[in-house]
Amino acid sequence: MGKCGLFVLVALFVVLSVVSVHAQNLLVNSSFEQDAVEDGLSPGWAVYSWGGSAGWVKPWGDTYGKWVAAAGGWNAGGVTIWCQSAPCVPGKQVTFRVQARGVSGCDGWAKLVLEFYGPFTEGGGMALATAECTPVTGVFGWTPLTVTATVPELAVRVRGLAWAEGMTTGCIEFDNASLETDGAPQQVTAGQAKTMPDGSLVCLKWPVVVKDNGSSFYNTDCYVADYGHEGVIRVIGSEPVYSNNNPVWLTKGCMLCVTGTVATVDGEKVIQATDLAPSSWDGPWPKTLAMNTKAVPEGIDKKGYLVKLAGKVNSVASDYSYFYISDGSRVTGEAGTGIKVLYPLTGDVDKYPKQDDVVSAIGVCWPETVEDTTYYVLNTRSANDVAPANQGGGDHEANLLQNPGLENGPLGWFYGPSFAVEPWAWHTGSRGAAIYGWDGNAGSPLSTWFGQTITATPGATYEFRTWVKKEASFIGDVKIKLEWRDANDQPVGSDVISDALAAGPDWQEFTINGTCPAGATKVNAVFAGENVIAGGAAMFDDAVLKITAAP
């Protein structure tokens, strides 16, 4: 199929002529290849799903690169959209192109949609006008979808949506996207904007909010960093930002679409926003460029860098709002050697880092001035940004598992069929692992697994625990296991296997314990599904594997 037909949803003159040769592709990461993590976020893109559908980044590409944006569903009313926004100019043409295909018995359809917005507004219900192409249905090979429209009066931003709907089986994949127009403001990084003269009209390239500077539901004042770490700049917006007719607060981790003029305020280069809207509420964070502050090259302002620290906790605030960590960089902190980690207590105080615990922490490095002396502090975003690195003198437990909360997709884990990381399967954070009960049947029961291999110490006692939830319609057994293996991956001794877990529709934590036998060099910590014949999903999240007794 060639170019899709156009269908105008709101009074909008659709132009069929060729876009100007001066048109530029305003999308970032247009083929989903940038820092791709299976089932993770795709930098620059937002994905939204509802009604029994979900979207993932998958390594299924074969024509336009390794990675694709995929959408699958199990309900005819389900919808998944992959979208990205860019500035536009009234009267100019916009063309949105994406390659799409339907695979694995797909019974849904794909289409492209353009939505046009006025300043400081976003969300389908606030679009000034929309246009879409004719859907392509069922199973089909790579097909170029295209929608072209003229920007209506008062519009300053366009959002291109790759739309998948109606699937109960199979999936739709998207790749090789472009959103082209001419006349749009110059697209620059935050670092480039800081070198431009006041009054320059610019659009920032995929900025992420890294620090709040006084934002509210009625105004925006924050610092943003480019995803690729090409600078940090302050963004000021004097008007409220509305999403689906409600004012919103643009918080840390939110990726923005920012257009505005360069200005100097109190000696600091800033962007005075003429248009501002969330592009993706969940980042992702800019790339981690350093393992500690000392590793950031000398001569570079550390402000705004995403840094990962690991070291011993040397003091904790009495109100549990921050702690200090000695990470080996010998940075002098406000309260001695170490770096202040801003980490407000959000859960059980017994799990807050204690003095002499060894932990890792990830966050944005930022200068803080106390009595005319500047120190670097680490601004964390969520509870998942601090994790135990090793057992210290405190009680903060040492988790031997990598990516235990599945926030980085299946990174570090091995898994079997019909088992995947999903954005709807979380106990905490935004992801968890799920067994697809609907893939099993009485004639061919499903058995599958999701596990991680860790170096083991013979004679040591291990505890493996995880949170489990099972939908009422799921029919099958779920278990957790400790499998002892030698250097050749052969079984050693007897594996520790739980009984079928009595999990239900509410999250529960289950635990098993076992002692590593002589001859074993590694242990597999495994979630397993057995004799699965029907139903919804069984879900796992927040796993812990730790040594409770030394040999």
Q: What is the CATH number for 124?
A: 2.60.120.260
254 and 141, same domain (yes or no):
no
pLDDT at 528: 95
Most confident of 73-82, 407-416, 526-535: 526-535
Q: Is residue 47 part of a domain?
A: yes
CB atoms within 10 A of CB 524: 19
Q: What average pLDDT does the segment 323-335 reach?
A: 63
Separation of alpha carbons 121 and 115, rounded Å: 11
Q: Is residue 159 part of a domain?
A: yes
140 and 197, same domain (yes or no):
no
Q: Running DSSP on this structure, what letter comes out for residue 2?
A: -
Structure tokens at 390: 């090793």
CA distances from 211 to 87, 222, 235, 381 (A): 24, 6, 11, 9
Separation of alpha carbons 335 and 321, rounded Å: 15
Q: What average pLDDT does the segment 207-233 reach?
A: 87
Q: What average pLDDT does the segment 106-123 reach?
A: 96
pLDDT at 308: 72
Q: Is residue 397 part of a domain?
A: no
pLDDT at 424: 85
Where among 136, 152, 181 does a domain terminate?
Answer: 181
The identity of residue 507, as a single letter, is W
Q: Is residue 402 part of a domain?
A: no
Q: Is residue 403 part of a domain?
A: no
pLDDT at 101: 97
pLDDT at 362: 80
For 164-198, the pLDDT digits (tens) are: 999 988 999 999 999 999 889 989 999 899 999 99
Alpha-carbon dihedral 454, 457, 463, 468, rounded to 10 degrees: 20
Which has the closest alpha carbon to 88: 2, 191, 29, 12? Answer: 12
Give the CATH number of the domain where residue 349 resides: 2.40.50.140
The answer to whether residue 440 scores a pLDDT higher than 90 is no
**b/e per residue, 514-523, with b = 16+ CB within 10 A?**
bbbeeebbbb
223 and 246, same domain (yes or no):
yes
For 252-272, the pLDDT digits (tens) are: 888 899 999 999 999 999 999
Residue with tokens 């127009």: 181
CB atoms within 10 A of CB 265: 10
Domain of residue 338, residue span: 288-390
Strands annotated E in 244-297 = 246-248, 255-265, 268-280, 288-290
The answer to whether residue 391 scores a pLDDT higher than 70 is no
The identity of residue 38, as a single letter, is E
Which has the closest alpha carbon to 90: 128, 147, 121? Answer: 128
The string of DSSP letters for 106-135 reads: --SEEEEEEEEE-TTEESGGG-SEEEEEPP
Residues contacting 288, CB < 8 A, separation 6+: 306, 307, 308, 362
Q: Element (H or E) spanning 193, and its range?
A: helix 190-193
Separation of alpha carbons 220 and 238, rounded Å: 7
Mean of per-residue pLDDT scores for the chain: 85
59 and 201, same domain (yes or no):
no
Where among 164, 181, 198 does a domain terminate?
Answer: 181
Count of structural domains, the chain: 4
Q: What average pLDDT does the segment 506-519 reach?
A: 94
**Which of these ranges, 118-127, 377-386, 488-497, has the smallest mean pLDDT?**
377-386
425 and 369, same domain (yes or no):
no
Structure tokens at 314: 């040397």
30 and 166, same domain (yes or no):
yes
CA distances from 340 to 305, 315, 365, 367, 374 (A): 15, 9, 10, 10, 12
158 and 222, same domain (yes or no):
no
CA neighbours closer than 13 Å in the CB half-sphere of residue 314: 16
Which has the closest alpha carbon to 470: 378, 538, 371, 368? Answer: 538
14 and 136, same domain (yes or no):
yes
21 and 150, same domain (yes or no):
yes
Separation of alpha carbons 27 and 33, rounded Å: 13
The overall pTM is greater than 0.85: no
Q: What average pLDDT does the segment 431-449 reach?
A: 89
Terminus-to-terminus CA distance in the chain, angstroms?
Answer: 66
Residue with tokens 């924050």: 222
Cis bond before residue 410 (omega within 30° of 0): no
Q: What average pLDDT does the segment 125-137 reach?
A: 96
Confidence of residue 289 (pLDDT cuts 50, 70, 90): low
Confidence of residue 282 (pLDDT cuts 50, 70, 90): low
Residue with tokens 């353009």: 114
23 and 107, same domain (yes or no):
yes
Structure tokens at 412: 């570090």
For 24-46, the pLDDT digits (tens) are: 789 999 999 987 777 777 888 99
133 and 67, same domain (yes or no):
yes
The answer to whether residue 2 scores a pLDDT higher than 90 is no
437-440: long-range pairs with CB below 8 Å, 24+: 437/471, 437/473, 437/474, 437/475, 437/476, 437/532, 437/534, 437/535, 437/536, 437/537, 437/538, 438/74, 438/534, 438/535, 438/536, 439/532, 440/475, 440/476, 440/532, 440/533, 440/534
The answer to whether residue 286 scores a pLDDT higher than 70 is no
Where among 248, 280, 312 does a domain terminate?
Answer: 280
pLDDT at 433: 92
365 and 479, same domain (yes or no):
no
What are the residues facing 95 on neighbouring strands? 148, 180
Which has the closest alpha carbon to 501: 483, 476, 536? Answer: 476
What are the residues facing 71 on neighbouring strands? 55, 172
Separation of alpha carbons 526 and 470, rounded Å: 17
Q: Is residue 406 part of a domain?
A: no
